[in-house]
Structure 1
Amino acid sequence: MGAASAILIVLITILFPPIGVWAVAGCGADLFINICLTVLGYIPGHIHAFYIEYVYYDRREQAREGRYAARRAPGVYSDRVQTGGQGYGTMAPPTA
């Protein structure tokens, strides 16, 4: 299911970037930024959307392996993306 959902999100993002960001990050600052970038130019909206999706799926894979990112990804404001969809407060904090 993970690979199929990622492929579906990428296909949706190719057609309309804000829908891909909404599916991964929800309704928030990342979606607003992506809508503005898409209005300013189709390519910047794609770049931002694919970056958000990359961070989301990378963090999700790291969480499955038991590794947690020590720092927040720059330019990503959604906690859902930062945690890889693991929810709010359900991830163990990284140990220093």
Structure 2
Amino acid sequence: MSVWRVILSVLFPPLAVYDRGCGSILIVLILTVLGWIPGVIAALIILNNPKKGV
């Protein structure tokens, strides 16, 4: 996880997880709309997990 991804996940969480798939973007977007902090937490958790299937 790079520093730029962490900064991007704090500023705009859905954009930080754009390469993790549509499902991740939708989950983070919904959580960001419901509350900014849950969106940031979800983005950081998704970015911390390694990619699967690539």
TM-score clears 0.5: yes
Structure having the larger proportion of residues in helix: 2
Q: Which amino acid aligns with 1:25?
A: R
Superposition deviation, residue 82 in structure 1:
2.4
- Larger Cα Rg: Structure 1 or Structure 2? 1
Runs of 5+ unmatched residues, structure 1? 57-80, 88-96
Higher RCO structure, 1 or 2 (CA under 8 Å, sep 6+): 2
For these two proteins, the number of residue pairs brought into alignment is: 54
Structure 1 moving runs of 4+ over 2 Å: none
Match of 1:34 among 28, 46, 52: 28
2:20 aligned with 1:25: yes
2:11 aligned with 1:15: yes
**TM value normalised by structure 2:** 0.86
Whole-angstrom CA distance in 1 between matches of 2:52 and 2:34? 26
Q: Please, what is the CA RMSD of the aligned residues?
A: 1.5
Superposition deviation, residue 21 in structure 1:
1.1
Whole-angstrom CA distance in 2 between matches of 1:21 and 1:31? 6
* 1:40-82, Cα deviation, whole Å (9 max, x unpaired): 00011011100000003xxxxxxxxxxxxxxxxxxxxxxxx22
Runs of 5+ unmatched residues, structure 2? none
Match of 2:49 among 55, 58, 63: 55
